[in-house]
Amino acid sequence: MKKQLITACLYTIVTAVLLGVIYPLAITGISRLFFKDKANGQLVVRNGETIGSSIIGQPFTGANYFHSRPSAAGTGYDAGASSGSNLGPSSKALMDRIDASVKTESDGARPVPVDLVTASGSGLDPDISPAAALYQVPRVAKERGLSEDRVNALVQANIIPRQFGLLGEPRVNVLQLNLALDALR
């Protein structure tokens, strides 16, 4: 019995060190070597300053910027608070939040695309649908003093197609689109 207990303890220690320390360090090292951008959070750096991540949504509230999906994280787009809101379709709190978002985004003439007023499953989605981006073109063009055709062309140029032509939906990364918009100046 004593021999089996010692063997079990040694096995636990060896596997804990191997799988809890050595393996994660090896995978981290390999990923940083071969996939540096992805291993470091796909940070977007301009002029030596980190301005965001292309895989985590960010709040854009000015009328001269394209807006992201609402965050369900409660504290903005904090990745540490990533989760859905867990509010069901009959929830009054959810309906009130959606109504407030519709009032904020609505131009009064067209229905607001659903992804501009509802959060994603993680609450941190950095992308919106092309329809949501195109919906915002008149507002952004007016605020920037640009033609709608020029802003529309910018949106079209920033549409990310389905992966491998069949996975997912076409989408627009809001941070990248707003950076391209700022570059028009």
The tens-digit pLDDT sequence of the chain (185 residues) is 999 999 999 999 999 999 999 999 999 999 989 988 777 778 888 888 888 888 888 888 888 999 988 877 665 666 666 666 667 778 888 788 788 888 778 777 888 888 888 877 777 788 999 999 999 999 999 999 999 999 999 999 999 999 998 898 999 999 999 999 988 86
Q: What is the pLDDT at residue 171?
A: 93
Q: What is the pLDDT at residue 109?
A: 80
Q: At what angle do helices 148-157 and 174-183 cross, to 10 degrees?
A: 130
Edge-to-edge strand list for the sheet holding 171-173? 127-128, 171-173, 159-160
How long a stretch of residues is the chain?
Answer: 185
Q: What is the pLDDT at residue 75?
A: 58
How far is CA 39 from each of CA 4, 83, 176, rounded to the nearest angstrom? 41, 22, 19
Based on the number of CB atoms within 10 Å of its own CB, is 175 exposed (0-12), middle (13-18) or buried (19 or more)?
buried
pTM of the shown model: 0.75
